[in-house]
Every structure is written in structure tokens, then in C-alpha cells.
A and B are shown apart, each in its own frame.
Chain A
Amino acid sequence: MNSLNIVVSGEAGSGIQTVETLLCEIFRRQHYVFSTKEYMSRVRGGANTTTIRISDSRINGFCEKTDILLSLDKKGIERIRERITSNTLIFGDVTETEKNSFSIDFSKIALETGNKVFSNTVATGFILGLLNKDKEIAGSVIGSFFATKGDQVIKGNIEALNKGYLTGQEFRKKLLFEAHIETVKEVERELFINGAEAVGTGAILGGCNFISSYPMTPSTPVFTFLAQHSKDFNIIVEQAEDEISAINMVLGSWYAGGRAMVSTSGGGFALMVESISLSGMIESPVVIHLGQRPGPATGLPTRTEQGDLLFSLFSGHGEFPRVIFAPGDLNESIFLTAKAFNIADKYQIPVFILTDQYLIDTYYNIPEPDFSLFDIEYYYLKETDPSYRRYKFTDNGISERAIPGNSGFVCLDSDEHDEDGHITEDREIRRKMVEKRNKKIMNIAEIERFEPCFYGHENYEILVLSWGSTKNTVLEAISQIDGARLGYLHFPIIYPLPSNIDNFFRKAKKTIVIENNYTSQFSKLLKMEKGIEVKEKILKYDGHPFSVEQITNALKEKI
């Protein structure tokens, strides 16, 4: 396996996004590409970097190693100082006192083509020349990228690309630089998407026809994706005045027969919490995409953390059931989000999709997902008669859900209610209603076959655990550790926990949990639900994702 890590470093609004988009679009037609970004909470200026990793095999972990740094401004190096080694080649806006650094004025080269604004295309061309890439693919990508801007702009950009390319070629020869990344034919047909698009795709696949939300980083791109696709897939999209309104519109939509979701993040979700409890009481389905970011309060708005596991688990006053999914990769993001709609509808409960900024903003290519693996299931009654009772007592606690417009009235109450949905304080009914609500998901883990994903050595001595977005990085880290029998258990479904997991722990001499938080919330959940104690913990809470190097080193220390 060969891979090359290119880091693009620049200020927000300086064109860093053009460079990253062009490079990814060009590379992804020939290689496996992984790209992730970290950025500051501001519109212009600040410090933003994008890591683009190209490879000849499918690996999607985040590596700190920097082979090439493309610095688009003076502070380009300082932003990632700790990721630069003696092998890093640095190009762009740099003073050449740095080791292996070469000052190149992309704007000056762009001016030769007539316009300074083409400097980002020059920088893109430079990288392609340095790596000796096919220029034709680049030309066609530029053609479609600038298609709406007219022929003049396309022509100027192609010229700028060529100039940058020539400069790149010069450096390639001068430095005898060679990247041994084989071209992979199959990738051309693959999708190149990020976590937000995967969650949005899953929502459409799951039959979502209504979303109301309030913009909040990092959850907004899911909201945007559904808005962008609203006409094609008939999705009602409304930006609410606040998150409280958003989730109440969504509950109204489910009541009237919709399949509705909200997309939000920590603080916004905090505002929705009373209505999560409402969904518990009125037994309404609801799907919540919760894109985690570091708290408390406003925290680090554009950074990443797995800090809201227990918050989502305990959100809402009173006792009522819920299900929490935490997809670890793009495929899981698509299919678990789709499944969330079926589960919410079937059990009449809130279902959470727990992602984070890292997953949402990370792109890589995946084979075309097989959508035939999923089917929308509708559980509401199409017809009723006047004897219909919304909260009829049943063996499994689930009463048939009707929507209004039929001869049976559909009556919901946030107060404790009787089988008809009317307010009551009758003690016997109260007791039975509490039991009814809470037993709905009693055997859900078996019925729906909630399973963890196992990787690694069948006869492991050490069991590594993680949940959510750390999956690909942990997988790669584990593959790099020799001499220890490692097993790895990834949890894409974190509540209710799969029922058979005790077996996995019995075999392990040592268990290590990896979490992007301070309090190791997942190990608390394991202890609370299963009595399983995990002593070894690898935790990170600086607002940044784990890297393959960090996990590898931390595991080596613990083994």
C-alpha cells in the first residue's frame, strides 16, 4: 500500500476550498482519496487546513504525516507545525529558511495569465505537475467546475492550470520527486461523498419527506443536502425560528403521516429536549440527526468531539425508550439513517443518528451503495373506524398509529392519558401506560438484530472498543500493530446495546476503549447496561479527531 498525504493550509475565504475541491475531484478519478478539513469558526481569515490523502488501496484513516504542504499564506506552516517532519516538502508562500521549503508565488504566475484570481488553479496545477498527473482529466474537471462562469473563465483557468503544471514539473525534476501511487481503474465509477451527504442520502432512502431545522455547525450540511434535493425527492424543507419550533413541526408532520427529521448540534439539541420527552409521551416517531461538537455551551463550534452520547441517552424528562445509532463510516451513515426512519415508525420512538464534525466533513470514495438492501416500511394505519383508540393496550406495548382524516379520531396528549388519548390521573391507567411505553423496545436488539462489528484476530487477547466516527482510523491503526493478538469491536448501534456482547469480553485478557471525549461515556454505558468494566482508556478531547499515529502509539503503550 502506498499513500501520499497532501496538506493545503490557508485562510478562510482565500480560495483554499477551490484547491481542495479541484484536487479531490481530479485525484478521485484515479486513486482512492480521503479528505478531511479542520477550520476555525469564522467567515474569513483564521487558520484552515485540509488533508488530502491519495492511495492505491482503500484506506480511510486520518494520518498526521505530511508529505507535501501547500502553503497558501505566510502562516501556512505554523498551523501544522507539529505535523511537519524532515521529509515534508513545503511549497508556496514560505520563507526558504525552513528545511525542504520552496517559495512559489502562485499569484504572480496567475498574473501572467492575466488575472490574479486564477492563483488557486495555478496551485492546483502545480501539485498535479509535481506528481506527474494526467493533465487531460484536470482539464475536464476544470471545465465542469467553472461551467457556469463562462468560456473566458474556463480558458483562463486552463491556462493557469498549465502554467502551474509546468512549474510543478520543474520541481519534480529538480527534486527527483516521485510518488509511487498506482492508478486504480475502478474508482472512476465510485461515489465521492462526505458524512453529511451520506446521512442526507440515508434520509431520502428512508423516505424522509419533511425536515425542519435551525442552522448550526456541524449539522447544517445535512439540512442543506436535503434542501438541495427537495424538488427531486419531494421533501418539505423549512428553516424554523428556533430548534424548539423545528422539532415541534417535525412532530406535527409525523402526526399527519410524514416521515420527518431534524438536524442539529449540542446547543440546538438542548433546546429540543423537552420535545424529545413529548415524543416519548405521545409515542410519536421522530428522527434526530445530532452532529456532535465540543461543548459545554458554544464550545468549539467547528471542531469535533464524541461528547453527547450520554446527553442523547438521557435527554428528556421522565422515562421512555429510544434508540441511538452512531455510524462509523459513510456506508453505515447511509443505511443506519435510512433504518432510523423504519425503527422510529415501527416502535413509535425517537431515534438518534449521532455523528460529529469529523464524520460530517470527511470525504472519501465508496463503491455504489446497494440501495436494494433497504426498503421503506410504513407502519401507520390507512383506515380506521370510530372504535379506534390511539393508545390501546397491547402485549408488546405498541398500539397501531393512525393519522387524522379517517373516521377514528386520533387524540394525543402530553399529559398522562387513557387509551383514547384523553387526560387522566387514574393510578391504574398511569401504571399501565408507563409499562406500555417502556416495554416497546424490550427485545428490540434481538428483533432488529443489533450487532457490533468485529474485526481483527479471531483468537484475540486484547479487545479494542470504539463507537461512531473513529472506526476507520482505529482499523488502520490496528493493522499497523504487529506482535499482539488484537480484536476490534466497533459499535454502530449504541443503545440499546446488542444483547450478545458479553461473549466478546469473556475472551479478552485486556480491554481498551477509544473515545473522542474526556469522561469515557461509552465505557460508562457498558458498565451501566452490562456490568462490563473497561479499565484501559484512550481518550482525546482537544477538539480534533484521533489520527492513525496517535492511536497506534497509544495502543503500543497499553499493550
Chain B
Amino acid sequence: MKDLNNAWCPGCGNFGILSSIDKAIDELGIKRENIVMVSGIGQAAKLPHYTNVNFFNGLHGRSIPVATGIKATKPELTVIVVSGDGCIYGEGGNHFIHGIRRNPDITVIVHNNMVYGLTKGQASPTSQIGFRTPIQVCGVFEEPFNAIAVAIALNASFVARCFSADIEKTKEIIKLAIKHKGFSFVEILQPCVTFNKVNTYAWFRERTYYLDSSYSPDDRIKAFETSLEKDRISLGILYTGFQRKTFEQNLEDCGIVYPVIRRKSNIKNDLLKSLKKNHSK
């Protein structure tokens, strides 16, 4: 890997997330040349530059459609979206919703630090009510975006939440997410040491707890209830188990034959025939 000058602040939660992802990939034994990371814009979106994989670091908010196009075209690739709360929930909110509906076999890792770092400290869709910034001078008054609840409401096939400081536990969840067939959504809570003085490491430690073995992630109502908790924040796999066909499987069932990228036979005669057939009706 190239020795790049890392753009993250010392102490940033991103380092823990990168470490969890790298370990997960290594432990799963996936060849790195078969992994594509897709990211958008923001500090989180720079993550693919700091590891050894193929990557498509595209536009703000648009990683999920890019990842969908890659996976549908070449399903043997392992496709992982890595971006922040502003990118996926704000600019790309519509794609988050419809990506879950479409259910491509991709893993979507969202760093959630409840603030915009790269643009220097404005509110994000997950900033808490009352959070003051140079723009939100009276404090945020919008209801924070509850992505976990939204994902469960949309019947996402894998929904999990992690805390960046717990590298080992986060790694285990990422491994399961990558292995899961379908849209796997992992939100990783992460302190921003420079611009978010409210949601600090200590703040997350006080509120988070891991779901234990008594919790069944296939109970959608329970999962939804858990996602709405106000006084504490659950970590672990909140919802999975319900098997939905992936986008690529649906394409195959609809007649797409893989690989699609190189056409095998000469289609010119078939094309002419089909144009004639079209107009004999």
C-alpha cells in the first residue's frame, strides 16, 4: 500500500473502524483484489484510500447506487459501501431507502458521528436536538434521523449497530454483515474528537449496551421497539433472519445470465429477427 498522508485527526473514531474492517476482511479470507469499496464524500469516505482494495470514491451521497451497479454487473465481487452519516442519510437518503428495497448483496457501513467534520462542524441528520453549531445557532430542532428504525421499517435483511472503540466486537459484526446475502446495514457510532464535544467516547460508553443472547434478531416488532429506545443505545445485530431475494438473484430469476459483461454469440441475426417480429403484430 502506498504511504499516504492520513487526513484523519489523532484520536478519530475512523481509525478503529478501519482496523475492524481490515481485520474482518483478513479473517474472512476474501482476496482483496475481489473487494470493491465504494464511498462518497466526507472524512469517513476517505477510508478506502487507507487500505488495500479496489475502490470507487465517488460523489457525495451516491455510493449505494454505484455499489448496486457494480454488484449487479459483476456479482463475484465483494462490494462494501463505507461513508458517513451526512453522505448516506443526508445527501443520499433516497438511495438508502430504495437500496434497502432493492436488496443488492452489498454491505453498507455508515460512520455516525452526529456531526459534519470535513465542512467543519455543522449539524448532520443524526445530530441531537439542541446541538449547537456555527450554523445551528439556536441548536438543532429537527428530529434526529433514526436510520436503524427506518431500515427495520423497510424490512432490511441485516441491521446492526456498533461502537467504533470496540474493535473486536465491531469486526465480528462486520464479518457477519459481509457474509450475509443481501443489503447488510451496519451503523458504527463514532466520536468526532474535533467538532462534536457532546457525543464523546464517554458519552457513548455511558449509553451503549450489547444485546445479549436472549434477544432474537428475527423478531421485527421487538427489533423496532429496540430501535426506538431513548435512554440507551443498543449494539449488536438488531434485525436479520428474514430471507429476502437479493437484487442479483431477482435479475437471474428474470432471465439474466451471468457473466453479462462479454457477449458470447453474434447477436446481429437475432436482433434483425426480433425487429421483424415486433412489427408483424
Contact = CB atoms under 8 A, between A and B. Distances in A.
Interface of A: 25, 28, 144-145, 147, 191-193, 197, 201, 204-205, 207, 209-210, 212, 229-234, 236, 238, 240-242, 244-246, 248-253, 255-260, 274-275, 278, 282, 368-369, 371-372, 376, 378, 403-415, 420-423
Nearest to B91: A244
Interface residues of B, number: 60
B66 A409 contact: no
B57 A191 contact: no
B121 interface: no
B66 A251 contact: yes
B59 A274 contact: yes
Given A245-B95, A278-B58, A234 B263 contact: yes
A252 B94 contact: no
B74 A405 contact: yes
Contacts of B69: 210, 212, 248-253, 255-256, 258, 260
Interface stretch (B34-42, B146-154, B188-196, B223-231): B34-42
Contacts of B256: 230, 234, 236
Contacts of B271: 201, 204-205, 233, 371
A438 B281 CA distance: 49
Contacts of A253: 69-70, 72-73
Contacts of A245: 62, 64-65, 94-95, 98
Nearest to A406: B33
Contact of B95 (A241, A404, A411): A241
A9 B32 CA distance: 63
Contacts of B70: 252-253, 255-256, 404
Contacts of A145: 281
Contact of B66 (A28, A197, A248, A422): A248
B162 interface: no
B55 A411 contact: yes
A411 B32 CA distance: 13
A282 B97 CA distance: 26
Contacts of A421: 55
B260 A236 contact: yes
Nearest to A191: B275
Interface stretch (B10-18, B45-53, B122-130, B210-218): B45-53
A241 B94 contact: yes
Central interface residue in B36, B56, B102, B275, by most chain A CB within 10 Å: B56
A236 B256 CA distance: 7
Interface in B196-248: 247
Nearest to B1: A409
A388 to B, nearest CB: 10
Contacts of B62: 244-245, 248, 275
Nearest to B264: A234
B167 interface: no
B261 A257 contact: yes
Determine chain A's interface SS by DSSP, over half rule: mixed
B135 interface: no
Nearest to B68: A249
18 contacts: A25-B279, A147-B281, A244-B65, A248-B59, A249-B69, A253-B73, A256-B71, A256-B77, A274-B59, A275-B59, A376-B263, A409-B54, A410-B54, A411-B49, A411-B54, A412-B55, A415-B57, A421-B55
In the A-B complex, the 5 residue pairs with the smallest Cβ-Cβ separation, listed nearest first, are A252-B69, A249-B69, A248-B65, A404-B54, A241-B98
A248 B99 CA distance: 13
Central interface residue in B48, B58, B272, B280, by most chain A CB within 10 Å: B58
B88 to A, nearest CB: 13
Nearest to B247: A238
Contacts of A204: 267, 271
Given A197-B275, A250-B69, A412-B58, A210 B52 contact: no
Contacts of A407: 33
Contacts of A197: 275, 278
B4 interface: yes
A255 B52 CA distance: 18
A274 B270 CA distance: 37
B257 interface: yes
Contacts of B74: 256-258, 403-405
Given A248-B65, A412-B57, 7 more contacts: A209-B261, A210-B73, A240-B65, A259-B261, A405-B33, A414-B59, A423-B57
B274 interface: yes
Interface string B59-92: 1001011111111111011000000000000000
Central interface residue in A192, A210, A248, A255, by most chain B CB within 10 Å: A248
Contacts of A230: 254-256
A371 B266 CA distance: 11
A210 B248 CA distance: 13
A330 to B, nearest CB: 11
A149 to B, nearest CB: 12
Contacts of A229: 274
B42 to A, nearest CB: 12
Nearest to A404: B54
B281 A252 contact: no
Nearest to A241: B98
Given A192-B279, A252-B69, A233 B270 contact: yes
